[in-house]
Structure 1
Amino acid sequence: MKFFIWSILIIVSSSVAGLIIIVIGHDPYTAGKLVKFLFFSSLLLSLSGLFLILKLVVKKIFKK
């Protein structure tokens, strides 16, 4: 179970870092399709990972 949580944290942190790099480094009005795809895929991966972590935490709290 710890390996699962660590892998989720690594994936979420790397996707959030990629999201921050894309937001800081590119102008949204001149961004191409690839940059927009990278932005939205990082956003989707970050949100899904955060919701999965939240689900695991809530499940652990209410298990007792």
Structure 2
Amino acid sequence: MSDVSFADRLAFGRECDVTLAGLTTLGAAIYAGSRMLQLRNDNWQNKEPLPMGVLYLTVVPADI
């Protein structure tokens, strides 16, 4: 369960939309990808894997 409230998630999403729209207006192309993974470390006392989501975001000129 996330520590972030749904209201905060919504606010973050709206802020991202504004930023990405601004980049697009400036002639950028935005590419994104995501993946879920299990983070592990042999040195942890608790050997339980930590579920984690990773977002990859690339911004490049749209005309290439």
Q: TM-score range by the shorter chain?
A: 0.3 to 0.5
Flag the structure with larger Rg: 2
TM-score normalized by structure 1? Answer: 0.39
Higher helix share: 1
TM-score normalized by structure 2? Answer: 0.39
